Amino acid sequence: MKKIVITILLTIVAVSINAQCQYCNTYEDYLEGRWQQLDTIYCKSHSKSHQMWVGGSDYTLTTGDKSTDNILKKEAFAVMICDTLYVNCRNLQYEKTRFGSGYTRAMRIGQRSLLFVNRIIGSDAQSSAAMAGFMFGALGGAIAASKQMKQQVCYVISYGADSKGRISIRLIDDGLMDQMIINRDDLHDEYYAEENTSKRLRATHVIPILEKAGLFEQGKQK
């Protein structure tokens, strides 16, 4: 009986968002508000975390229609469910490293950019994992991967795809933060109050400061 009740509730949720689901094919389509409507969409999370910002390609989005699901998996840039935005990780890359398949939650920041949270990847992450694996075997590699997931950082999408369909993104590091909170000495001091560089880049440290800067308010859709 309990399983039946849960199934009914999930069905009600799916039906209730039928008229509020849409997707766009490119970053440029997103900026221009060129959306394709969807009748129904099902969102499945692979994470047990209930935090506001869930990093990684954590979500699978399906409609029940094979051709539409293929578009969402391979072609779509983003999906909007009610007021929540999901970006397709398939073509995102940082330092030539890809995030894999699946969708990640994102939020518009500033006038043109999208911010999302993910584990640290690229050359630094790879060398760290390799060293842990060399020192402690498979167990060490697993510990390093788990640590990376807990130390999630922020990335920004500010440009569309290149000729090969790949979208290069930027890590929010010290240099980018300096630009984003320029003329805010109070926030600059708060950001650099964390002296440890790796801890300073963590999403849990960066996001509250960007919120105080009002950048998420500027990026709200009208």
In-domain check, residue 8: no
Q: Is 201 inside a domain boundary?
A: yes
C-alpha span between 31 and 202 (Å, rounded): 27
Residue 10 in any domain: the answer is no
Residue 9 in any domain: the answer is: no
pLDDT band at 33 (very low <50, low <70, confident <90, very high): very high
Confidence of residue 217 (pLDDT cuts 50, 70, 90): confident
Tens digit of pLDDT for each residue in 75-103? 999 999 998 999 999 999 998 888 888 99
pLDDT digits (tens, 9 = 90+) for 121-168: 755 544 444 333 444 444 444 444 444 446 789 999 999 999 999 999
Q: Does residue 3 lie within any of the structural domains?
A: no
Name the domain count of the chain: 1
In a domain? residue 5: no
For residues 127 and 148, give the distance between their C-alpha atoms in angstroms, rounded to a whole number: 12
**Are 161 and 155 contacting, i.e. CB atoms less than 8 angstroms apart?**
no
Contact criterion met (CB below 8 Å) for 43 and 32: no
What is the pTM assigned to this prediction? 0.77
Q: Give the single-character DSSP code of 26.
A: S
Query: Burial level of 149, CB count in 10 A (0-12/13-18/19+)?
Result: middle
Cα atoms in the 13 Å half-sphere on the side-chain side of 104: 25
158-197 per-position pLDDT tens digit: 999 999 999 999 999 999 999 999 999 999 999 999 999 9
Domain that includes residue 50, residue range: 19-218
Residues ≥6 apart with Cβ < 8 Å to 59 = 43, 44, 45, 46, 86, 102, 103, 104, 105
Q: Is residue 13 in some structural domain?
A: no
Q: How many Cα atoms are found within 13 Å in the side-chain-facing hemisphere of 45?
A: 13
Instruction: Note whether residue 95 is domain-resident.
Output: yes
As given in the structure block, the two tokens for residue 16 are 């209730």
